[in-house]
Chain A
Amino acid sequence: MAGKTLYDKLWDDHLVKQRDDGSALIYIDRHLLHEVTSPQAFEGLRLAGRRPWRLDANLATPDHNVPTTDRARGIDGIVDPVSRIQVETLDRNCDEFGILEFKIKDQRQGIVHVIGPEQGATLPGMTIVCGDSHTSTHGAFGTLAHGIGTSEVEHVLATQCLVQKKMKNMLVKVNGKLGPYVTGKDVVLAIIGKIGTAGGTGYAIEFGGEAIRNLSMEARMTICNMSIEAGARVGMVAVDDTTINYVKGRPYAPKGEQWEAAVAAWKDLHSDADAEFDKVVELDAADIKPQVTWGTSPEMVAGVDGQVPDPGQEADPIKREGIVRALQYMGLKPNMPISEIQLDRVFIGSCTNSRIEDLREAAAVVKGRKVSPTLKQAMVVPGSGLVKAQAEQEGLDRIFIEAGLEWRDPGCSMCLAMNADKLGQGEHCASTSNRNFEGRQGFGGRTHLVSPAMAAAAAIAGHFTDVREFVH
């Protein structure tokens, strides 16, 4: 019999009950909550007279609606009354049901997918869910982590379980070594460019190969974060010393004897050598260039030295139609070089790229330079209050401010523009976030997804430029 994949092991470890109809009850170790997808779930509990099954599995924080300025005022700083009600509702629900929440004024507040790992609330071997599709981020720790809808948020609160069907296994192997200034973001965009936004549908993806093994936890989180943009609910990376060193000493990580026992258990969190995958995709790291999306779907991506495609060259009629529509929305011409796309704004942040390493990479590029006067705005939004504090301790805030970038308070911010930070109609933005859908960053806004280093170089140049040449 073939060995098990990492996904098989995580599944088996959490199987409460296999039902005859093929569905299974899977136990959930950690449940993260935020203000947008939880109010209706708490309301459902209340209406049915139910209580949370297990309080200590839950951790909540507001992130989508919080302002990124004037945070000393706390909730009073939220100008939009509807946003404010949503944040207040989360506070009230957590207080009423007894769930731990990092409230808006808590230094530990931040984007839910940044704070889980930062606090050690995300531990290898766990099942982790959240009413947010980028929960796949946590898979970087050898966890089974995925987004759920609000009905399932209620289901997890009430039962600590989910009804699931097992997915298929996919291995994405990135062989060899990445070139300088080619980051986790470029790797995952290249993968999505290759397999498409539905390429991972129905699969749990494991990312492996030499290039992945050599990446930091931050970069692995960036890659797993965007699994959902490849259609896969779940992305994961096997546990190794990099994982264990990252977790060690975090506030909620095990201590003492429990730490030793946990580490021993975590050593098994990798696919067996003879495990079989339903699908294997391989990429050569040396071929991956800094990536830039030109369209309205993350698969519409090219190397920075490439061009906007010509729909006339596309054989598949549905794809051709998609390219025509995207170019029209984005205001771009076929065959135009990527480096000629002029920018209006730059956004460095989001659960994809707002961790300390991302900010260091961006700061290294802008240091001693000035943001292009053709830009309306360039902003840096750290992923959590603790990332912000760490960056300030390292002097990164000074570097950004001196270069002309705004230094903001933590939250989702312009990633989806539910707070006051957004694009104007027709504006082009170099963004380190994860979705370039129509209107995602503001009505009529045009998003180009890039790495933090590429966003930083673009901020200085005013248009896209190859960061590898730019820094020399």
Chain B
Amino acid sequence: MRAFSHHKGVVAPMDRSNVDTDLIIPKQFLKSIKRTGFGPNLFDALRYLDEGRPDQDCSQRPLNPDFFLNQPRYRDASVLLARRNFGCGSSREHAPWALDDYGFRVIIAPSFADIFYNNCFKNGLLPIVLDEETVDKLFAEVAEQEGYQIEVDLPAQEVVTPSGERFSFEVDPFRKHCLVNGLDDIGVTLEDSDAIKSYEAARRQSAPWLFDAITHS
């Protein structure tokens, strides 16, 4: 996995709450069997005026001029500023894949849906929870100042604004460790193979019906 420790980038504001995973990447694009290439279809239904289909050349499609990512000032953004309950809905990892493929590295919101939040970490994307008041303030500052950039320092768990204001954020130590070091967490888990095997052996004794039923029938 790609490591994440520090990042500085332009902030783009998505000013709506409950942004669901169907909105982030509509289902017609989930048919791919790859992990990459979802970026052009990020927020597809909002970003383009026509109906999106797989195998289209997105550069030829009519853009929705009102959508924030189509405004030149936000086009190269790598930090997404969002509202409450971002990423609700399905467990599709295509949502963080699409955000990542577009070029986002950090998402800031007052709250995230659980599965989406978790999926971000698996893909080198950092979701940051800041309180509602701070997020409101950032929205206002971003609107005011073109090219507004923030700096994210994951080891220090801090977000720094252009004026030098600092906000600290919480992150689970295991997730942080994996992200900072770019660790493959399957590898980390397999270091505990013996513990898994001994759990399994004990469970076979206490609840034998949980084993073999499917392969033996």
Contacts and interface: CB of A to CB of B under 8 A. Distances in A.
Given A254-B213, A438-B22, A39 B33 contact: yes
A151 interface: yes
Interface size class of B (residues with CB under 8 A): 35 or more
A232 B32 CA distance: 28
Given A25-B196, A133-B91, A262 B209 contact: yes
A342 interface: no
Contact of A252 (B18, B27, B91, B214): B214
Contact of B196 (A16, A131, A319): A16
B70 interface: no
B115 A59 contact: no
Interface residues of A, number: 90
Interface string B53-88: 011000000000000000000000000000111001
A325 interface: yes
Contacts of A151: 93, 119, 122-123
A233 B174 contact: no
B163 to A, nearest CB: 25
B199 A27 contact: yes
A126 interface: yes
B16 A201 contact: no
A260 B52 CA distance: 54
Nearest to A89: B33
B215 interface: yes
Interface stretch (A158-166, A178-186, A344-352, A371-379): A158-166
A204 B91 CA distance: 16
Contacts of A444: 51
Interface in B75-124: 83-85, 88-93, 96, 111, 113-115, 118-119, 122-123
A439 B173 contact: no
B186 A198 contact: no
B interface secondary structure, majority: loop
Contacts, number: 207
B141 interface: no
Contact of B92 (A83, A89, A149, A259): A149
B92 A435 contact: no
Interface string A187-209: 00000000001100110000000
Nearest to A416: B27
Contacts of A252: 213-214, 217
Contact of A438 (B45, B90, B196): B45
A204 B210 CA distance: 23
B200 A160 contact: yes
A138 B12 CA distance: 39
A147 B96 CA distance: 16
A80 B27 CA distance: 14
Interface of B: 16-18, 20, 22-23, 26-28, 30-35, 45, 51-52, 54-55, 83-85, 88-93, 96, 111, 113-115, 118-119, 122-123, 172-174, 177, 184-186, 188-190, 192, 195-196, 199-200, 203, 206-217
12 contacts: A16-B195, A25-B189, A29-B210, A40-B35, A80-B31, A133-B115, A149-B119, A151-B122, A154-B186, A165-B172, A325-B16, A438-B22
Question: Which 7 A-B residue pairs are closest in the complex by CB-CB distance?
Answer: A254-B209, A151-B122, A147-B91, A39-B33, A149-B93, A149-B119, A21-B173
